[in-house]
Chain A
Amino acid sequence: MTGGAQVHQIDLLCLACGGQCLFDPRAQELTCHSCGTYRPLSSDGDARAADEFPYDPDRPEAEQPAFQGEQIHKCQTCGGEVVFAGPSLSDRCAYCDGPVVRGTEQSAFETMAVIPFARTHEDAARGIAAWIKGRIAAPDDLKDIASQGRLAPIYVPFWTFDSQEAVEYWATYVVGSGKHRRTRETTGKMRITFDDLLVPASPHVTPLIRDGILHDFDPSRLRAYQPGFIAGFAAERHHMTVDEGLRANADDKDLLIRNRIIRKVDKRGTEVQRYRTDTTGIHYRRILLPVWILHYSYGGRAKKIVVSGIDGRTYGERPFSRSKLAAYAFAVTVLTVLVGLVWGAVAVM
């Protein structure tokens, strides 16, 4: 243990009995597991927790990692690296359920703010059961099999990025039909503002999971980072520089810009040939967001269902029942064939 980690352990001891304190999502406070005493976690930094920091890509400052050589838990399957404040509650990886071993962190950056867990294990389990119930053509035994999976909490590193884009585009669209179908060219300029674009700073969380569980990011819920918030939970630290974070978001930003251009042109068959953007006003935050991950295996394939620790929104991977898919496909086919048969017969009567 490094000195920093030792300080964290002492900070997390109960002031009344010296017992181990863990963060309680319902109370939003530390609670002693020995005597039940609650300890608030508010700090002077909370008022500035939502502050954003400017970044100039033309003058990237050499960032110094805040952590180096600290003890971490590293997954032997997916390579995920997590830290625990207080006791390490699991020897399994929260991302993939693989075994974790103690290791040494190469380098990591300081977290600026965190949205603490507000949903408990029971809330997450209920959310997952409801999500599974709403799946169409799911196997009948999915609920039972998923209920045997392991539900693990983890604070996942995210970026928020703001930017203003001055976009110049070249696009084509279609007019007419049949022999009169023609392709026309168009060009134009537009401004796009991205505000609090959430970007996963971990390779273990995909943009699809982000878009499934984090619909309404509210910066006012951010709290200044304190180890007490992750007491009892695993957390992955930030390992990316700002430049790496921006590059990780490049594909998504490209897709969003192209979609905005298509809406701006608003013509049939619009295709964006190319565009040029001048990005200014980049601001960022390094934050941790709470997530519950359920690992289960169906038909020998590992799957996961993810629940937002903020509002309980759920999204995940699910199997399909082949017999139910076949039944749906047969029903739709019968209907379509009947319409076709009647159409063909009536047309020649």
Chain B
Amino acid sequence: MEALSQFALPALSVLVLLAVSTLIGLGQVRKTISIFEANHDLKKDSAGWLRSVTGWLVIVIWLSFTWLIATVIGDWAVTGDLDAAVDRGTVRLWVLLELLSALSDS
């Protein structure tokens, strides 16, 4: 039973994370492609280009939070202590929020 909670539950969590993140990622991948194509097709610094290349921060947020939750699951799988893993994840979350804040300023 203990082995189940140490490996099976984190593995199950990984599967759920993969499914949810992929679902959310559909729109983000589409946005990434649209920005890439706008960067390639539209005249640089034109009004249309400026409007089209906005919104990339949402893509960064999607990837960042997927990574953050994965770090918690990785921690949990190794230590078997979910509460401690969440605490360490919370520290990473604050660092991540600072980074995202700096990115949004740019």
Residues on A facing B (Cβ under 8 Å):
135-137, 174, 177-178, 181, 206-208, 210-212, 214-215, 251-252, 255-256, 259, 268-269, 315, 320, 322, 325-326, 328-330, 332-334, 336-349
> Which A residues are in CB contact (< 8 Å) with B9?
none
* Nearest A residue (CB) for B24: A329
**Separation of A328 and B33 alpha carbons in the complex (Å):** 10
Q: Is the CB of B50 within 8 A of A255?
A: yes
Q: Is the CB of A326 within 8 A of B98?
A: no
* Nearest A residue (CB) for B77: A345
Q: Is the CB of B47 within 8 A of A340?
A: no
Select which of A211, A320, A341, A346 is within 8 A of B14 by beta carbon: A341
Q: Given A136-B33, A348-B75, 4 more contacts at CB 8 Å?
A: A181-B101, A206-B48, A329-B21, A330-B25
Residues on B facing A (Cβ under 8 Å):
14, 17-18, 21-23, 25-26, 28-30, 33, 36-37, 41-43, 45-52, 63, 66-79, 85, 88-89, 98, 101-102, 104-106
Q: Is the CB of A325 within 8 A of B30?
A: yes
> Which A residues are in CB contact (< 8 Å) with B106?
268-269
> Which B residues are in CB contact (< 8 Å) with A338?
70
> Which A residues are in CB contact (< 8 Å) with B21?
329, 333, 336-337
Q: Is the CB of B29 within 8 A of A256?
A: no
Select which of B41, B69, B72, B105 is within 8 A of A268 by beta carbon: B105
* Nearest B residue (CB) for A174: B105
B88 to chain A, nearest CB (A): 7
Q: Is the CB of B69 within 8 A of A340?
A: yes
* Nearest B residue (CB) for A342: B74
**Separation of A268 and B102 alpha carbons in the complex (Å):** 8
**Separation of A326 and B106 alpha carbons in the complex (Å):** 30
**Separation of A251 and B21 alpha carbons in the complex (Å):** 37
* Nearest A residue (CB) for B102: A177
Main secondary structure, interface of A, reads helix
12 cross-chain CB contacts under 8 A: A135-B37, A210-B48, A330-B25, A336-B21, A337-B18, A340-B70, A341-B74, A343-B71, A344-B88, A345-B75, A347-B88, A348-B85
Q: Is the CB of A336 within 8 A of B47?
A: no
Q: Is the CB of A329 within 8 A of B29?
A: yes
Q: Is the CB of B37 within 8 A of A330?
A: no
* Nearest A residue (CB) for B52: A208
Select which of A137, A251, A334, A340 is within 8 A of B74 by beta carbon: A340
Q: A328-B29, A333-B22 are in contact. Are A208 and B48 (CB under 8 A)?
A: yes
**Separation of A236 and B82 alpha carbons in the complex (Å):** 68
Q: Is the CB of B77 within 8 A of A341?
A: yes
**Separation of A259 and B48 alpha carbons in the complex (Å):** 12
* Nearest B residue (CB) for A346: B74
* Nearest B residue (CB) for A344: B74
Q: Is the CB of A336 within 8 A of B70?
A: yes
**Separation of A268 and B104 alpha carbons in the complex (Å):** 9
Q: Is the CB of B68 within 8 A of A178?
A: no
Q: A315-B42, A340-B68, A349-B78 are in contact. Are A330 and B18 (CB under 8 A)?
A: yes
* Nearest B residue (CB) for A254: B47
> Which B residues are in CB contact (< 8 Å) with A325?
26, 29-30
* Nearest A residue (CB) for B105: A269
Q: A337-B21, A349-B78 are in contact. Are A211 and B42 (CB under 8 A)?
A: yes
**Separation of A346 and B45 alpha carbons in the complex (Å):** 43
> Which B residues are in CB contact (< 8 Å) with A207?
46-48
> Which A residues are in CB contact (< 8 Å) with B105?
174, 268-269
